[in-house]
Amino acid sequence: MTDEHKLYLARQHRAGHTVVTAIGAITLQTVMRVRSMLLEALARHGPRLILDISGVDHLDPVGADALRRTGERAKLLGGQLQLVGPSPELTSQLRTHGLTWQLAIHNTLTGALATARERDGEATAPDWLDQLQPTIDDPTHDHPHRDVRFSRGV
């Protein structure tokens, strides 16, 4: 088996995203495995996809087209396909295939997740906001305009 046929794939879930890690080459010989895993993740877990390509050493035009189409499908479903960790050589291949302006590309998984939180509007709220619980000034008073306040939960 040549290097063009070798591809290792793993899937995990992080912060509401499906993260697929690819190691090897995304080429005509391996593209169906990558696309199948990404499409399965879209169907089962939703359109928030991250493909870690830090271990990918080659991307041919067929592989690039599959990533482009998967990104378009995720976008139609309200999500996004983000690429993480390309080497300088792979970044050049992404640029050659026109993917650098079609897909979000990040150096790290942390960066991709932070961008996704900002995109979803989650980064503007402070962490402690999730702990707020409504409290009512006078719970025995049934007036429809009673004063509702928020306090930090315990």
Task: Give the range among 64-68, 73-77, 95-99, 110-114 with minimum mean pLDDT.
Answer: 110-114
What would the pLDDT profile of 30-59 be if each residue is shown by its tens digit?
A: 999 999 999 999 999 999 999 999 999 999
- Residue with the larger pLDDT of the pair 109 and 146: 109
pLDDT value for 116: 74
Long-range contacts formed by 36-45: CB under 8 A, 24+ apart: 37/9, 37/11, 38/70, 38/81, 39/70, 39/73, 41/11, 42/70, 42/73, 42/74, 42/77, 42/79, 45/13, 45/18
Mean pLDDT of 84-99: 94
pLDDT value for 121: 65
- Give CA–CA dist 34/124, Å, rounded: 34
Query: Does the pLDDT value for residue 4 go beyond 50?
Result: yes
Q: What is the pTM of this model?
A: 0.74
Mean pLDDT of 123-148: 46
